[in-house]
Amino acid sequence: MTSTPLAELTTIVIAGIRNAGKSSLMNNLFKKNVAIVSDIPGTTTDPVTRKIELGKLGMCAVTDTAGLDDTGVLGDLRVQKSKERLIAADLLLFASPVNLAPLPQEQAFLGWLKARKIPWIGVATFSDQLPHPDKTGFFPGNLFISQDNFNPESALKLVERMEQLHQKINREITPVEGLVKEQDLVLLVTPIDLSAPAGRLILPQVETIRDLLDRDCAALIVKERELSYFYKALTIRPSLVITDSQAFHKVAADLPEDQALTSFSLLFARKKGDPAYFIKSLKALKNFPETGRVLVMEACSHHCQAEDLGRVKIPRLFRQMVGSRVEFVHSRQAPEHPKEWDLIIHCGGCMLTQKAMEARLAVFRENRVPVLNYGLFLAWAHGLLPRALEPFFGLADLYTRSG
């Protein structure tokens, strides 16, 4: 991997009605044409995302969305896609033409913004034209800034205003935050099998290595077959061993019982998801319906291998340990009817932002549907709980209390 993934960038989303000047605003931020600009309503269909460095905000992913007032069957689909991006945003730019009276969709969106905790800025576009009387006072207080669509330099003040909000943006924790200290040795176990991508490591492994280096730690990387040899050869005891979940059982067998151990997937359960919710959901494995339904959710597209974790290994292990007649379905989209499922097993979510993952979990939480993470299920299946949770403050105790 040669660039920071979108899921780790500050997410800025531009929203507004059709022909509100959203694409022009995006072009002004980038000082070049990265989005198509046209007087034809509905020019922007699918969300368009580009990376940019924005001062104190650092590397950002800026997304231009379809109009909030788009209509028709395709329009409804476009608005739905836009809403998915809005929910996962770290910062919202609400573009509204200063020369036009507010539409009902703009009034509704303003109310939605006020009800949420997402930092946002109102952008009064087409500031070169006379303001409409009804647009005066539309944006409350100092939450707005004017923008001349045909003057890229007008974006400089907008960037300054955006930088002022950098402390209000909730950033994700890093993979090993709070788990290691300077000069610790951390042993990483990374199996190389048919499911491993050719020529590189998977994203959670890459991010963990970088985080360890940023924290002035040493990282020793081995495959599971060489673990025992190198572990015994060490003169410094690792402060932590992190393994791929698929190798949990073998790795645990090759290590002393008092060696701190967890998995990349559990690191990301904490980073991206809600580990307390996952742990409490383990109760669902007791007395699971004989013909229950399990939805395995993934966050990224990939070609399935012969021993794919989500499509082969987890269903096989689940049927061996929980119920042989359980139905498994796989999806990358949230289900339309969550209550139809007895359990969700979600991947680590490395390609999702924490807010995007939380939006998924909120739907299941509201419908009282239990959710597990790949790593937590595999740790449970291999009898490694609560051990694999002990490096995380309070989680092993929560598991014990949850029974």
What mean pLDDT do residues 19-28 have? 90
Q: What share of residues in the chain are helix, strand, coil (percent, to 5)?
A: 40, 15, 45
Distance CA 72, CA 374 (A): 39
Backbone torsions φ then ψ of 224, nearest 5 degrees: -65, -30
Distance from C-alpha of 374 to C-alpha of 204, rounded to nearest angstrom: 13
pTM of the model: 0.82
Q: Give the lowest-confidence range in 1-10, 77-86, 175-184, 246-255.
A: 1-10
Structural domains for the chain: 6-168 (3.40.50.300), 185-266 (3.40.50.11420), 274-402 (3.40.50.11410)
Rounded to an integer, the average pLDDT of 154-173 is 88
pLDDT digits (tens, 9 = 90+) for 257-293: 999 999 999 999 999 999 999 999 999 999 999 999 9
Q: Residue 199's pLDDT is what?
A: 67
Say what the pLDDT of residue 198 is. 64
In whole angstroms, give the CA distance from residue 57 to residue 82. 22
- Report the candidate in 155, 50, 34 with the shortest Cα–Cα distance to residue 95: 155
Judge residue 179's burial from the number of C-beta atoms within 10 Å of its C-beta, 0-12 exposed, 13-18 middle, 19 or more buried. buried
> How much is the average pLDDT of 202-225?
94
* Structure confidence at residue 78 (pLDDT): 78
More confident residue, 163 or 299: 163
Q: What angle do CA 328, 333, 338 make, to 5 degrees?
A: 65
